[in-house]
Amino acid sequence: MTAPGWRRDLFALPDLVYLDGNSLGALPRTVADRVAAVVEDEWGRGLIGSWNHVPGSSSGWIDLVDRCARLLAPLLGVDAADVHVGESTSQSLFATTVAGARMRPDRRVLVVDRSTFPTDAYVVSSVARLLDLEVRWCEGPGDDGGVAALEAVLDDDVALVSLTHVDFRTGAMFDLPAVAAAIHQHGALAQWDLCHSTGAMPVDLAAAGADLAVGCTYKYLNAGPGSPAYAWVAPHLQADLDPPVAGWMGHASPFAMRLDHEPRTGVGRLRVGTPPVLALSALEAALGVFSGVTTAELRAASLQLTGRFLAHVDTLAARFPDEQVALVTPRAHHRRGSQVSFRHPHAYGLVQALIARGVVGDFRDPDIARFGFAPLYTTLDDVDRAAAALAEVLESRAYADPAYAERNAVT
C-alpha cells in the first residue's frame, strides 16, 4: 500500500503541519519555475508568437485549455474531450446550470442541497431568477448518501439537481451513482460540485451516470489561489449545450471574426474569452505531480490519514469530556471525503491556537474546526503531530486566549 505523503518532496512546504489543503493546496515545486518561464521567456521574448508553439519552450498558449483537460480527465474518470478549463468555479457553475435548465424547458424547478457551499446556492438562485424558475431545497448526504433526502423533493417538475459531492463543513459525502440514479428516475439532470473531491479521491463521473460537473483546481489540485475551474458535460448532452454567454473562443471559427455566432461542437461551447495563460500554465505544471498516480492510491492514502486523525479525535474527546469535542465527519469510509471536522464551543480560538503551534487547519461558522488531508503530501507523522498539538491546546485551554476573541476575515 502506498504510504500517505509519498510525493511530499514534489512540494515546497514550510516546516509546519499543513492540514488546509482542502482550502488551498500546497505549492508544487515546478510551478514557480514554469510561471517564471512563461513571464520571462514566452511573454517577455516570444510576445504574441507564444500563442503558437515556440521551439525549445512549453508555449503554444492556444492549446493550454486542451492540455490541462488531458491532465484532469483521469482524475475525473472521463474523456478529455468532454472537459473545459478556464473560468472560475462560480462562472462555470452558472454556465452549466443555465445550460442544464435549458435542456429541460418544460420543467420549472432547480434543486440544491442545504449543505452546499454558499456560492452554489447563490448561483442556482440567480439562475432561477433569470429563467423564472423555482428553487427547491433538499437536505445533505445523511447516512444513506443522500438518496432519501432527494426522494423527498423530487418530482417530474424538477429540471436539474445541483449537489456538492463532499460537504465542505463536515466532510460528509453524497453517494454519487445512487443519487444520480434517483435523479434520472424523474427525468432530471444530475449536476455535481467536485471542489472538495478531485485530487483526493475517485470521482468517475462517467461510470456514476453524472450529467454535468464543475470543480476548482486550487484545493487538492494545488494550482494556486484563484486558479481556473473546470466544467464537464456528458457526451450525450453536448449537442443541446446552450450556455448563457456566447464568447469568441466558443465560436466554431474564432479567428474568422464573424459577427454571427456559430458555436463550437461539444464542450468547447463553454469557452468564453481569451484563456488565462498565466493561471493555466501554473495549473498545467501543478497537475504534473499526479503523473502516474491512480485515484485508488489517492483514496487509500486519504482513508489512512483521515482514519488515524479520527481515532485521535475520539481519544481526545474521551480524555477531555468537558471540552465538548463532537465529531461531525462520518466514520464510514464510503460516507466521508478527505477531511475530519469536529464541533467545539471555541472552535475559532482552538484553530488559531493550533496555527500558533505550527498546525494549520481552519474554522467554519459557527463552531466547526476542519482539517483537510491531501494524500500526496500529508504524512501519518503530520497526523500524529497535529493530534499532539490538539491535546496540548485542549489541556491548557489555549483557545481562550483573548487574542483569539476577534475573528479575522479569512481563517
pLDDT tens sequence across 22-33? 999 999 999 999
The DSSP annotation for 219-273 comes to STT---TTPPPEEEE-GGGGGG---S---GGGBSSGGG--SS--BPSGGGGG--S
What is the pLDDT, as a whole number, of residue 143?
84
193 catalytic residue (yes or no) = yes
Catalytic option among 113, 167, 370, 371: 370
How many CB atoms sit inside 10 A of residue 306's CB?
Answer: 27
Distance CA 246, CA 334 (A): 40
Distance CA 409, CA 86 (A): 27
Q: Using one digit for the tens of pLDDT, what is the confidence trace for 182-221?
A: 999 999 999 999 999 999 999 999 999 999 999 999 999 9
- Residue 16 · residue 359 · CB < 8 Å: yes
For residues 225-232, average pLDDT: 98
Tell me the sheet residues that pair with 138.
113
Cell for 337? 471525503
Catalytic option among 219, 271, 335, 357: 219
219 catalytic residue (yes or no) = yes
331 catalytic residue (yes or no) = no
Shared fold status for 8-26+293-404 and 29-290? no
Q: Is the pLDDT of residue 411 over 60?
A: no
Q: Is the dihedral of CA 126, 132, 133, 134 positive or negative?
A: positive
What pLDDT band is residue 142 in, cutting at 50, 70 and 90? Answer: confident
Catalytic option among 18, 94, 117, 371: 117
Q: Using one digit for the tens of pLDDT, what is the confidence trace for 313-368?
A: 999 999 999 999 999 999 999 999 999 999 999 999 999 999 999 999 999 999 99
Tell me the sheet residues that pair with 371.
340
Average pLDDT, rounded, for the chain: 95
For residues 166-181, average pLDDT: 96
230 catalytic residue (yes or no) = no
| Torsion, Cα of 394, 396, 398, 400 (10° steps) | 90
**Helices first, then strands: H and E counts in the chain:** 11, 13
Q: Is the pLDDT of residue 54 over 80?
A: no
Buried-state track 256-277, b at ≥16 Cβ within 10 A, e below 16: eeeeeeebbeebbbbbbeebbb
Distance CA 61, CA 186 (A): 43
Catalytic option among 175, 193, 362, 382: 193
What is the pLDDT, as a whole number, of residue 406?
74
Burial (CB count <10 Å: 0-12, 13-18, 19+), residue 94: buried
Sequence-distant (6+) residues with CB within 8 A of 150 are 111, 138, 161, 179, 182, 183
Catalytic option among 218, 230, 363, 373: 218
What is the pLDDT, as a whole number, of residue 407?
75
Which of 117, 288, 301 is closest to 201 using CA atoms?
301
Q: Is the pLDDT of residue 181 over 90?
A: yes
Length of the chain counted residue by residue: 411
174 catalytic residue (yes or no) = no
Distance CA 275, CA 85 (A): 9
* pTM as predicted: 0.95
Instruction: Kindly list the distances between the CA atom of residue 191 and the CA atoms of 106, 146, 179, in Å, as whole numbers in the listed order.
Output: 18, 14, 10
Q: Which CATH architecture has domain 29-290?
A: 3-Layer(aba) Sandwich (3.40)
Which of 24, 19, 18, 21 is closest to 371 using CA atoms?
19
Class of domain 8-26+293-404 as given by CATH: alpha beta
What does the domain layout of the chain look like in residue ranges? Answer: 8-26+293-404, 29-290
Instruction: Kindly list the distances between the CA atom of residue 26 and the CA atoms of 22, 38, 217, 289, in Å, as whole numbers in the listed order.
Output: 10, 21, 12, 11
Q: Is the dihedral of CA 203, 204, 209, 211 positive or negative?
A: positive
For residues 148-174, average pLDDT: 96
Write the Ramachandran bin of 115: left for phi over 0, alpha for psi from -120 to 50, otherwise beta. Answer: alpha
Which of 145, 82, 96, 137 is closest to 113 using CA atoms?
137
Q: Using one digit for the tens of pLDDT, what is the confidence trace for 56-79?
A: 666 799 999 999 999 999 999 999
